[in-house]
């Protein structure tokens, strides 16, 4: 059964930034970010599990001109129920606002 998620517009905590940085280093063909760089990105959405508040996915973007957004990172952590539209779609929709 897929988990339920809430989307929070907030910066990354130190542990989340370190976890994401490590995950990106293990992903082929993606330039990595240091945890400090990830914590400085202002446009961030975090998908958290409703039941436990665990980080399930992160969307980092750079807003350019009005109506234009550059996707920097969209990462969904591997866990049962995370790799589905239940995480992906709300993150994408949330950043479009």
pLDDT tens digit sequence for 21-63: 998 888 877 777 899 988 988 888 888 887 777 888 888 887 7
Catalogue all structural domains in the chain, each as residue range(s) with its CATH number: 5-95 (3.40.630.30)
The verdict on pTM exceeding 0.85 is: no
pLDDT at 14: 94
DSSP 15-79: HHHHHHHHHHHTSTT-----HHHHHH-SEEEEEEETTT--EEEEEEEEE-STT-EEEEEEEE--S
pLDDT tens digit sequence for 56-93: 888 888 778 887 877 778 887 766 655 555 777 777 77
């Amino acid at each position: 059964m897929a988990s339920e998620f809430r989307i929070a517009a907030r910066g990354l905590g130190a542990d989340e930034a370190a976890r994401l940085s490590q995950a990106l280093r293990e992903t082929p063909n993606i330039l990595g970010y240091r945890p400090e760089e990830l914590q400085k990105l202002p446009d961030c959405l975090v998908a958290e599990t409703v039941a436990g508040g665990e980080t399930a996915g992160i969307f980092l973007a750079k807003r350019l001109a009005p109506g234009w957004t550059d996707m920097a990172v969209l990462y969904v952590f591997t866990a049962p129920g995370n790799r589905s539209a239940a995480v992906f779609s709300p993150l994408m929709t949330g950043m479009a606002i």
